[in-house]
């Protein structure tokens, strides 16, 4: 594709939304550094990763996404090997989630999200696969393999993302309602098995939601994160400390666990208030909407399902992350896409969104290197 065609066809609203969210995230990470007296080292690292991730997003738009379609299963297999390889590296904070090569750490579970979406799109692009219940068993297996490996790390939050994404892609592919109901029933019956795989700490976070501490009660170890996240969310008020100032007498309210990662939305609320949180959620909703619009306008089945899968991936993480910080869901350790600190997550999401942009550049079938849109036949008069 020529440069002039690339610049004309690219859906520029999507990368603008991505860069806006990354910018807000960097401001929030800088604020978390300030509150923790971290010296600003996290925000500078995130800026470096942001430059790499945004560059990778644009690079991912140049070759046709269809060249990756035959390699989707292979990419998933490579990621599964990496998910096993994490156990051969030292645990960090009690979890085997990272592969460290010198100063660089890679989190394979973030890459597994994108690889799983691609593999599911590859399988579901064929009608005979999603129109029968037996054809839906393989995508269920494709999804459960990384889920079980990620649960063993342990990383409950990331593991919970996969099944809703699978359900959304099955629905978009055109699976029958009774088959979807059967898959949902299987998932419900698997809950006890997931519970048995969870650590004591993960189970305690679930029970903490069912019996939250009152405002006057002293939170225990299980409910401490939820208690602090609620306090930090409330500390910002309508306008946040950026406009209304902060109270030195209540500085303890600004300390929340995992401030730069899982609880980054709390820092946004503290700094920019309720309006800041609303802007972040609105930008995330617009990002998901742009992905769905690209999926709607795409005639090729693999590209359409790929765009739907990425949209579902972003939406599920935003819903779960924001819900867990207000006590609607357990604190599971799930980051907020494009805002939370972390190079692997930022790079994985930007690559996924780069593939969606790639789909938007080539919405029709290609013949001799040129794309054209499918035109429905006219009805007889």
| pLDDT single digits (tens) 345-359 | 999 999 999 999 999
Residue 281 covered by a domain: yes
Residue 269 covered by a domain: yes
| pLDDT band of 218, cuts 50, 70, 90 | low
Residue 230 covered by a domain: yes
pTM of the model: 0.86
The tokens for 38 are 């971290």
Could you tell me which of 313, 287, 353, 9 has the C-alpha nearest to residue 172? 313
Number of domains in the chain: 1
Residue 340 covered by a domain: no
Residue 186 covered by a domain: yes
Q: How far apart are CA 176 and CA 79, in angstroms?
A: 30
Is the predicted pLDDT of residue 363 greater than 80, yes or no? no
The per-residue b/e assignment along 286-308, b for 16 or more CB within 10 angstroms, e otherwise, is bbbebbbbbbebbebbbbbbbbb
Could you tell me which of 357, 342, 360 has the C-alpha nearest to residue 52? 342
Three-state secondary structure call for residue 369: coil
| pLDDT band of 1, cuts 50, 70, 90 | low
Residue 159 covered by a domain: yes
pLDDT of residue 220: 58
Q: How far apart are CA 15 and CA 10, in angstroms?
A: 9
Domain of residue 240: give its range: 68-335
More confident residue, 49 or 8: 49
Residue 213 covered by a domain: yes
Residue 346 covered by a domain: no
Could you tell me which of 376, 374, 378, 377 has the C-alpha nearest to residue 300? 374
The mean pLDDT value for 131-140 works out to 77
The per-residue b/e assignment along 328-364, b for 16 or more CB within 10 angstroms, e otherwise, is ebbbbbbbbbbbbbbbbbbbbbbbbbbbbbbbbbbbb
Is the predicted pLDDT of residue 309 greater than 80, yes or no? yes
Three-state secondary structure call for residue 254: helix
**Count of helices and strands (H, E) across the chain:** 16, 4
pLDDT of residue 376: 46
Helix (H) or strand (E) holding 104: strand 104-106
């Amino acid at each position: 594709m020529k440069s002039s065609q690339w610049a004309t066809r690219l859906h520029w609203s999507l990368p603008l939304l991505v860069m806006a969210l990354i910018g807000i995230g960097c401001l929030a990470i800088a604020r978390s550094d300030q509150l923790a007296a971290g010296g600003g080292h996290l925000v500078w690292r995130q800026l470096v990763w942001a430059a790499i991730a945004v560059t990778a997003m644009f690079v991912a738009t140049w070759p046709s996404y269809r060249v990756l379609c035959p390699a989707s299963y292979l990419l998933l297999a490579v990621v599964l090997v990496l998910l096993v390889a994490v156990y051969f590296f030292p645990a960090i904070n009690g979890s085997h989630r990272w592969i460290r090569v010198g100063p660089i750490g890679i989190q394979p579970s973030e890459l597994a999200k994108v690889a799983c979406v691609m593999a599911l799109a590859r399988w579901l692009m064929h009608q005979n696969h999603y129109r029968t219940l037996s054809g839906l068993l393989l995508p269920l297996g494709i999804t459960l393999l990384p889920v079980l490996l990620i649960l063993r790390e342990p990383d409950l939050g990331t593991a919970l993302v996969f099944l809703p994404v699978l359900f959304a892609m099955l629905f978009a592919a055109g699976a029958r309602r009774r088959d979807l109901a059967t898959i949902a029933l299987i998932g419900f019956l698997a809950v006890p098995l997931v519970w048995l795989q969870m650590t004591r700490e993960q189970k305690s976070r679930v029970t903490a939601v069912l019996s939250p501490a009152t405002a006057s009660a002293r939170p225990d170890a299980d409910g401490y994160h939820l208690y602090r996240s609620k306090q930090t969310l409330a500390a910002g008020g309508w306008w946040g400390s950026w406009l209304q100032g902060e109270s030195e007498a209540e500085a303890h309210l600004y300390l929340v666990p995992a401030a730069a990662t899982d609880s980054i939305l709390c820092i946004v609320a503290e700094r920019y208030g309720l309006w800041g949180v609303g802007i972040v959620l609105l930008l995330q909703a617009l990002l998901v909407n742009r992905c769905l619009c690209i999926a709607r306008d795409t005639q090729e089945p693999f590209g359409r399902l790929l765009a739907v899968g990425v949209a579902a991936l972003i939406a599920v993480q935003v819903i779960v992350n924001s819900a867990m910080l207000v006590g609607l869901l357990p604190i599971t350790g799930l980051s907020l896409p494009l805002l939370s600190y972390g190079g692997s997550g930022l790079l994985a999401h930007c690559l996924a969104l780069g593939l969606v942009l790639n789909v938007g550049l080539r919405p029709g079938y290609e013949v001799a290197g040129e794309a054209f849109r499918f035109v429905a036949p006219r009805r007889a008069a």
